[in-house]
A = this chain, B = another copy of it.
Amino acid sequence: MTLFGYWRSSSTWRVRIVLEEKGLSFDTVPVNLLHGAHLDDTHRARNPLGQVPALAIDGGVTLIQSVAIMEYLDQVHPSPPMLPADAIGRAQVRSMVEVVNSGIQPLQNLAVLKAIEASGGDRVAWSTRWIGKGLAALEALASDDGPWLHNHGPTLAEACLIPQLYNARRFKMDLSAYPKLLACEAACMARPAFQRSHPDQQPDAVVA
């Protein structure tokens, strides 16, 4: 499999987490968002929306949208499972996935932040507003038992949470209001799969 993505893209990191947790081997092909490589014809042939990640699988098929890719990987490579076995548990994990995937990330990705600045808005104030709202909801939804968001983990919800917390720190947000999320993050980052998938570990990383 070949993962087309960008080291700092939170949606790309989600897919790396699932690939690494399941022990799957894959090649990485960087798509430089800062250079606009996601908008050229080559990448638009993979994803007409011009976003990362995209995952090329066997048979010439390329899958797009991180949630769809993660669900595919969990179905085809079921060990270890990253969704609960029961229908209600699956819905609860998927709802946390979507709090990040539709409730936070789309409002603070690069294309939207450029548009906010172009219309006179402030990218930090805009981003932190929506990230804070979403993380507060996740803190309320997270299991009180910890450290996982829902019973056993990590699940697809952790695969979404950890990259989103990384983004929050890029905006210098104070995360102390989210102790359950921070405990979950600590449990995740103790795992080799999360460590290997970290943006700084990617071949296209630009680390100061």
Contact bitstring A128-169, B, C-beta under 8 A = 1, else 0: 010001101100110000000000000000000000000000
Residues B49 and A137 in contact, CB atoms below 8 Å apart = yes
Q: Secondary structure of the A side of the interface?
A: helix
Residues of B within 8 A of A94 (CB): 65, 67-68, 71-72
Distance between A99 CB and nearest chain B CB, rounded to angstroms: 6
A206 CB within 8 Å of chain B: no
Distance between A117 CB and nearest chain B CB, rounded to angstroms: 10
CB under 8 Å from chain B, chain A span 30-85: 47-51, 57, 61, 63-69, 71-72, 75-76
A88 CB within 8 Å of chain B: yes
A91 CB within 8 Å of chain B: yes
Beyond A49-B133, A119-B120, A141-B48, whether A75 also contacts B90 by CB under 8 A is yes
Number of residues in A with C-beta < 8 Å to the partner? 49
Residues of B within 8 A of A28 (CB): none
Residues B87 and A72 in contact, CB atoms below 8 Å apart = yes
Q: Which of B47, B61, B97, B119 contacts A116 (CB 8 A)?
A: B119
Beyond A98-B68, A99-B49, whether A75 also contacts B88 by CB under 8 A is no
Residues of B within 8 A of A116 (CB): 119, 121
Residues A63 and B49 in contact, CB atoms below 8 Å apart = no
Residues B99 and A140 in contact, CB atoms below 8 Å apart = no
A120 vs B133: C-alpha distance in the bound complex, in angstroms?
Answer: 21
A112 vs B69: C-alpha distance in the bound complex, in angstroms?
Answer: 27
Closest 6 CB pairs of A and B: A68-B94, A48-B140, A49-B137, A65-B98, A119-B121, A72-B91
Complex A-B: 6 CB contacts under 8 Å: A65-B102, A72-B94, A75-B87, A76-B87, A98-B101, A115-B126
